[in-house]
Structure 1
Amino acid sequence: MATASKHGPAAPASYEAALQELEQLVARLESGDMPLEQLLTQYQRGAELLTFCRDRLEAVQAQVKVLDQGVLTTWTSDEQ
Structure 2
Amino acid sequence: MVQSRPDPSDLQRARQARLVAIVLAATMVLWMGAQWLGGKLGLETRFVFLFDLAAIAAFVWVLVVTYQIWRGRRG
Short-chain TM bin: 0.3 to 0.5
Q: Which structure is richer in relative contact order (CA contacts within 8 A, separation 6 or more)?
A: 2
More helix by share: 2
TM-score normalised to structure 1 length: 0.42
Q: Whose radius of gyration is greater, 1 or 2?
A: 2
More strand by share: 1
TM-score normalised to structure 2 length: 0.43
